């Protein structure tokens, strides 16, 4: 284990349960899912036949939820309306273990709700059709602002760090942030903000740090951030112009740029399969703040936040990341780049879930694939045509010997896996030791199970299981007169 990964593993192990106060704009994210079937007869618009409704915490409440899932003791301060949506947000905070004593009710504003309509075309490939926002951006003021800042300062005194999640919905007024920042500096507490998109960041003056993305930092500094040099220049300018402890710019797939008292550094991230960037910024703020609260320095906190942000984009929607997932990812990065398409079962199942959530169909087939021939290529191409992702279960060497005798396989499971992953039709390969792939099928839960036409539908192993939850069995055509055994016989090897 390298020094960097060892330090990060140690940091995760000593995160403890710091108290974190999150201040900002609480939101409710609502999703309406359905099939986009046709054009309405009433107007030239798509008709969505809704079949599922989902609600999630958003904005500052999303940051708080993420922190709770990471083991922090979390309290949130902000505003909700006196409407049913406000009550729903409070109930969801309760369910997440987040204290909300400092969340005040404002009868003059609605609870902020973002309602997204997600349509599936031909029962798959969901796409957002429209988003409807229920909100006011009126800046909190007067007696309500005074109450909120007083209670926030009171709760900050008991916290190890304060995080500000500013979505420009009116809670993070300049006066409120100025008073809270001054109080935090007096108490020796760090205060970190995820800022709005805008050209004036004066209201964040004196904070410990901020986490703007490249667009936000560019607007605030007037710098066109196109490379490492410009990112570091923007981070430096933010630090110096706003009296920050550290200037930071998040650079999505390029990592983060940091400028502090020792100068500037870029902290890259490893490549990820990006399924959804929603929640990545919230996750970066949550983990960055959690690490600092646990005593980490800025470079270590950034490295850990990079990992958590990367895990978040591999998920669909705003979803929590656990310490166990972070530790597992650190371990994977230490073992080096993944080899092609071969996965172990646990890793495969984790990778398939976000694909399944987007409506993509998982296809599974299996075999020894000892001497790859034209029949195999045709079979795998037909298998892949049944869905969007093809998983091939590959019999291990021991499994092949049990099925075909001591002279087989001719090629090792490693060699067979390399050949399979070179085929465009194959998305993933997973090796199994058993005589049948039934346990793989139960773990993967494919939408389509494929075997050759020499099987009957009732004799396919796992077929009953797949059909029990609405999946189907497909019998693929076989190329006449072609098989590994016949090829070996002609070669005199079997």
Query: Which residue numbers are catalytic?
Result: 282
For the chain, the distance separating the N- and C-terminal CA atoms, rounded to the nearest angstrom, is 45
- Give the distance, in angstroms, between the CA of residue 344 and the centroid of all CA atoms in the same chain: 20
User: What does the alpha-carbon distance between residue 81 and residue 83 come to, in Å, rounded to a whole number?
Assistant: 5
The 112-121 sheet, strands edge to edge = 46-59, 26-39, 112-121, 124-134
Q: Which residue's entry shows tokens 């999640």? A: 165
CA angle 488, 490, 491 (to 5 degrees): 60
Q: What is the CA radius of gyration of the chain?
A: 27
CA angle 449, 455, 457 (to 5 degrees): 55
DSSP 274: -
User: What does the alpha-carbon distance between residue 176 and residue 465 come to, in Å, rounded to a whole number?
Assistant: 58
Contact 113, 134 (CB under 8 A): yes
User: What does the alpha-carbon distance between residue 50 and residue 81 come to, in Å, rounded to a whole number?
Assistant: 27
DSSP 284-348: HHHHHHHHHHTT--HHHHHHHHHHHHHHHHTSSSS----HHHHHHHHHHHHT-S--TTB--HHHH
Torsion region of 340: left, alpha or beta (phi above 0 gives left; psi -120 to 50 gives alpha): left
Residue closest to 208 by CA, chosen among 179, 242, 234, 250: 242
Contact 345, 434 (CB under 8 A): no
Contact 445, 407 (CB under 8 A): no
Q: How many residues does the chain have?
A: 494
User: What does the alpha-carbon distance between residue 126 and residue 3 come to, in Å, rounded to a whole number?
Assistant: 43
- Runs of H (alpha helix) within 314-437: 323-334, 345-357, 374-384, 397-404, 413-421
DSSP 166-202: --SSSSS-HHHHHHHHHHHHHHT-EEEEE--SSS--G
- Cis, bond preceding 454 (omega within 30 deg of 0): no
- Give the distance, in angstroms, between the CA of residue 310 and the centroid of all CA atoms in the same chain: 7
- The three-class DSSP label of residue 188 is coil
């Amino acid at each position: 284990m390298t020094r960097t990964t060892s330090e990060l593993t140690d940091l995760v192990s000593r995160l403890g349960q710091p108290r974190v106060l999150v201040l900002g704009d609480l939101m409710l994210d609502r999703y309406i899912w359905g099939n986009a079937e046709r054009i309405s007869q009433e107007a030239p618009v798509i008709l969505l036949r809704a079949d599922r409704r989902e609600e999630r915490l958003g904005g500052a409440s999303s940051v708080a939820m993420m922190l709770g899932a990471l083991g922090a003791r979390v309290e949130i301060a902000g505003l909700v309306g006196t409407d049913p949506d406000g009550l729903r947000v409070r109930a969801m905070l309760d369910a997440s273990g987040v204290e909300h004593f400092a969340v005040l009710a404002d009868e003059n504003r609605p609870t902020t709700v973002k309602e997204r309509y997600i349509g599936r075309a031909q029962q798959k490939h969901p796409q957002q059709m429209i988003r409807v926002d229920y909100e006011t951006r009126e800046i909190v003021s007067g007696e309500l602002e005074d109450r909120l800042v007083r209670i926030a300062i009171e709760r900050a005194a008991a916290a190890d760090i304060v995080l500000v999640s500013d979505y420009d919905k009116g809670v993070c007024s300049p006066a409120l942030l100025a008073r809270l920042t001054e109080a935090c500096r007096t108490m020796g507490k760090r205060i970190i903000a995820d800022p709005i998109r805008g050209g004036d960041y004066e209201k964040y003056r004196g904070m410990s740090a901020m986490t703007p993305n490249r667009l936000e930092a560019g607007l605030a500094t007037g710098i066109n951030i196109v490379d490492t040099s410009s990112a570091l220049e923007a981070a430096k300018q933010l630090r110096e112009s706003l009296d920050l402890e550290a200037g930071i710019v998040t650079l999505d797939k390029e990592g983060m740029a940091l400028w502090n008292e020792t100068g500037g550094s870029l902290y890259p991230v490893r490549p990820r399969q990006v399924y959804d960037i929603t929640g990545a910024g919230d996750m970066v703020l949550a983990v960055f703040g959690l690490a600092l609260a646990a005593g980490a320095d800025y470079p270590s906190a950034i490295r850990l936040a990079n990992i958590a942000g990367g895990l978040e984009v591999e998920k669909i929607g705003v979803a929590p990341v656990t310490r166990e997932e972070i530790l597992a990812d650190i371990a994977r990065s230490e073992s080096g780049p993944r080899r092609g398409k071969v996965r172990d079962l646990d890793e495969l199942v984790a990778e398939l879930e976000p694909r399944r959530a987007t409506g993509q169909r998982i296809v599974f087939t299996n075999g020894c694939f000892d001497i790859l021939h034209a029949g195999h290529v045709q079979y795998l191409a037909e298998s892949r045509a049944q869905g969007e992702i093809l998983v091939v279960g590959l019999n291990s060497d021991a499994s092949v010997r049990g099925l075909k005798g001591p002279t087989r396989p001719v090629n090792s499971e490693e060699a067979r896996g390399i050949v399979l992953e070179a085929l465009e039709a194959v998305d993933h390969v997973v090796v199994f030791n058993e005589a049948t792939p039934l346990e793989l099928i139960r773990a993967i839960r494919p939408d389509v199970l494929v075997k050759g036409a020499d099987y009957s539908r009732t004799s396919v192993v796992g077929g009953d299981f797949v059909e029990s939850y609405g999946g189907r069995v497909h019998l693929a055509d076989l190329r006449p007169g072609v098989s590994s055994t016949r090829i070996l016989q002609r070669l005199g090897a079997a």
